[in-house]
Structure formats: structure tokens, C-alpha cells
């Protein structure tokens, strides 16, 4: 993964390469071919990592990513309990020096927020008769 930093005053560009073999993406050679074929598109998204967001918390920058492969079945769709897909957070200081990473089990959520040394996200709980939306919190430090 390569992070680009653009100084908006001078338009100078700086690159920071993150050497992490768990974050992987395949090069796309024919975009229309993938976009026009549902199976190829599903396969591409199932096997490739993705960045979910970039956040600033205190003096740190945090990249939220998804790594690993999705468990997908053509008849059943995506499995809600993903054993091979994880959420990985990359922490950097203000000079983009890597500090640490944190790995979480995958969760389905459309919105993630980070503040006060914690990650917050909504999840849909369908285990009961009525569907419930739950606000979840993962602290970055032991409490």
C-alpha cells in the first residue's frame, strides 16, 4: 500500500510505502470487462483488500482497512461471519511513521468513526425476532 501526501501550498507530493503482505490488491487490466461481469466483479472484491477510511485521532493518523478474502457462495451470497476477512487498523504518527497495527474480526457496517482512542460503528443484529441496530465501541487501549 502506498500513501500519498500532497502539500496544498506547494503541491509537492510525498510517498510512504507500507510493506504489509496481508494488504493485497490485484492489478486491473480491463476495467469494463470486470464491471460488466457480475461474477468477475464479485470475485475481485472478494479477494482484494480495501481502505475503509482515513482518520485523525489526537496526533495519530489511522487507516481502517479490510484484508483477507470474503467467504462468498453464489447461491447464498456473502457469509455474515467472515473467518478469513479482517479489519486492520494502521496507526501513524504526524510524520507518517508507522506506530502499530490492530487486527479485528470482520464486521458488517456502513459507517465507522474514530475518536477518543476508540473505533465506533453500527451493526445490524438479526438474531432476534425484531432487527436491532447496535452501536459498538472498540477501545485502542485496555480499559
pLDDT of residue 17: 84
pTM recorded for the entire structure? 0.78
pLDDT of residue 80: 60
Euclidean distance between CA atoms 45 and 49, whole angstroms: 8
Q: Domain segments of the chain: what residues?
A: 21-108
Q: Residue 38 above 60 pLDDT?
A: yes
* Neighbouring residues of 31: CB distance < 8 A, sequence distance ≥ 6: none
Euclidean distance between CA atoms 92 and 68, whole angstroms: 22
* DSSP code at position 12: -
pLDDT of residue 75: 66
pLDDT digits (tens, 9 = 90+) for 52-109: 899 998 888 999 999 998 876 666 666 666 788 899 999 999 888 889 999 988 877 7
Amino acid at each position: 500500500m502506498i500513501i500519498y501526501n500532497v502539500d496544498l501550498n506547494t503541491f509537492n507530493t510525498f510517498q510512504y510505502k507500507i510493506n504489509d503482505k496481508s494488504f493485497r490488491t490485484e492489478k486491473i487490466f480491463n476495467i469494463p470487462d470486470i464491471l460488466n461481469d457480475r461474477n468477475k466483479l464479485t470475485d475481485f472484491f472478494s479477494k482484494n483488500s480495501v481502505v475503509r477510511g482515513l482518520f485523525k485521532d489526537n496526533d495519530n493518523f489511522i487507516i481502517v482497512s479490510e484484508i483477507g478474502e470474503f467467504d462468498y457462495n453464489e447461491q447464498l451470497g456473502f457469509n455474515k461471519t467472515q473467518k478469513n476477512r479482517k479489519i486492520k487498523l494502521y496507526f501513524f504518527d504526524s510524520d507518517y511513521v508507522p506506530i502499530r497495527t490492530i487486527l479485528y474480526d470482520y464486521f458488517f457496517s456502513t459507517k465507522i468513526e474514530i475518536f477518543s482512542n476508540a473505533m465506533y460503528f453500527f451493526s445490524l443484529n438479526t438474531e432476534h425476532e425484531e432487527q436491532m441496530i447496535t452501536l459498538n465501541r472498540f477501545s485502542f487501549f485496555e480499559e
